[in-house]
Structure 1
């Protein structure tokens, strides 16, 4: 319907969901903090300087944007985003949580697969005034393990 992906597009999020990795700075399997039949959540490979360890939640099936996303999958994405928000509050000791999502080039979408950001927020962090940079893969496991452990120990309390 409103597609902008190039004809021969290789989706990095479909690759992550399927268990494949590339030898680059991109997301690795050890960055995954949660996965079920509908969604996968992982530590993002691009970080903002004052909001390290933010998470992306993606549908396992390829949907390019919000215009294609079925409502039941959208609900599951937000259910898992809420679980991650609880995990971040408890493990990162952040002051708040922000979520954001982009669609189409004018909406600042840069991967042609629907995804929702979940950011830990801190007073005065200037999230929207800073620029993200790609991390090294060895920087992410610390955050992934914290969130993964919390989810494994606490998810039954919330869902």
Structure 2
């Protein structure tokens, strides 16, 4: 680990007593935004779930999340990083195959200035359409109920054919 990475790793924005929703769903803690039906893949080092927040022209976005609680990219282990990247690639390919979209984009945010709003690293994998203006429509995102997320999760699970429980 380089000196710069080590210093960045010690900086935290996670509040004391933070109830991490991504750790919670792995333990079976659910709410309207974190449902077992959102899970589309689970591997040894990462899991993927349909996101509860969508942009207008990009429904069915997925989050790829390390199974180990890590706040941001600076603290990510190489082994978890490899697991996230492998699952991100599989999810992107699955989205292209099952969502009838023109492409995909990935993005990942670190710290408040980088628009991080959940204190557990996650990678967004987003279906793209021509002229969807995704990056110009950041403020147009909306929270999507579970019933609206489920058809996307079913299609992607069928395409990926990976485990979907945390017993792996």
Listed as ranges, the gaps of 5+ residues in structure 1 are 154-159
Distance in 1 between the 2:106 and 2:87 partners? 12
Residue in 1 that maps onto 2:99: 92
Distance in 2 between the 1:18 and 1:128 partners? 33
Distance in 1 between the 2:144 and 2:18 partners? 23
Indicate yes or no: 2:45 matched with 1:38: yes
Indicate yes or no: 2:30 matched with 1:28: no
**Deviation string for 1:111-159 (max 9, x for gaps)?**
0000000000000111111121101111011000000001118xxxxxx
Residue in 1 that maps onto 2:89: 82
Distance in 1 between the 2:123 and 2:59 partners? 16
Residue in 2 that maps onto 1:11: 20
Does structure 2 conserve the Cα–Cα contact (< 8 Å) formed by 1:66 and 1:114?
yes
Listed as ranges, the gaps of 5+ residues in structure 2 are 1-9, 163-168
**CA RMSD, Structure 1 to Structure 2 (Å):** 1.1
Residue in structure 2 matching 1:118, options 118, 125, 147: 125
Residue in structure 1 matching 2:143, options 126, 130, 134: 134
Distance in 1 between the 2:118 and 2:144 partners? 17
Please list every run of at least 4 consecutive aligned residues from structure 1 whose deviation after the TM superposition is greater than 4 angstroms. Answer: none
Report the secondary structure of 2:161's partner residue: helix
